[in-house]
Amino acid sequence: MKNHIVKPLHTGISVSDMERSLQWYKDVLGFEECYKDDYVPPLGARICFIRGCCGYEIELFQYDAPKAIPEDRLKPNSDLQTIGTKHLAIQVKDMAGFKEKYLAYGGDIAHEVTMCGESVMFIRDPDGVLVELIQPPV
């Protein structure tokens, strides 16, 4: 089976407000909108693809009746104990600079730690979805 896999394509994230989430992923992580299907009746949802560095894509879904993220999924360490997809992980080149701009933006930091020489920071998107930022040792 492994010989049939070509490349990863995208990660899907459900959001409560498409425009707010689009703005956040653009402003905070530098993604750009690459495809938008305003409404897909069989799903009862709006869909939008956004693309970041190296061609990495995220598919955002805004359903007619979204369900809020459970409280225990908002904290990295408790979320890791729940089976399922956990977070996006993105490498940054200047964690201190990113953090300064993110806090000025009004961003929410969930957790910070240094592990094996890497600077790691978890932030939350507007709906509480965890995004892990990693700066490798210099």
Q: Is the pLDDT of residue 117 over 70?
A: yes
Poorest-pLDDT segment among 33-37, 59-63, 111-115, 118-122: 33-37
CA–CA separation, 10 and 116 (whole Å): 28
Domain covering 1-67 assigned CATH 3.40.50.1220 in the classification:
no
> Under CATH, which architecture does the 69-138 domain have?
Roll (3.10)
Mean pLDDT taken over the chain: 92
Q: Note the pLDDT of residue 3.
A: 80
Percent over 70 (pLDDT), the chain: 99
Q: Note the pLDDT of residue 6.
A: 83
Decide: pTM greater than 0.85.
Answer: yes
From residue 113, alpha-carbon distances to 40, 89, 118 in Å are: 41, 14, 8
Poorest-pLDDT segment among 25-29, 59-63, 76-80, 110-114: 76-80
What are the extents of the domains in the chain? 1-67, 69-138
Q: What are the tens digits of pLDDT across the range 44-78?
A: 999 999 999 889 999 999 999 999 888 888 888 88
- Exposure string for 29-46, b = 16+ CB within 10 A, e = fewer: bebeeeeeeeeeeeeebb
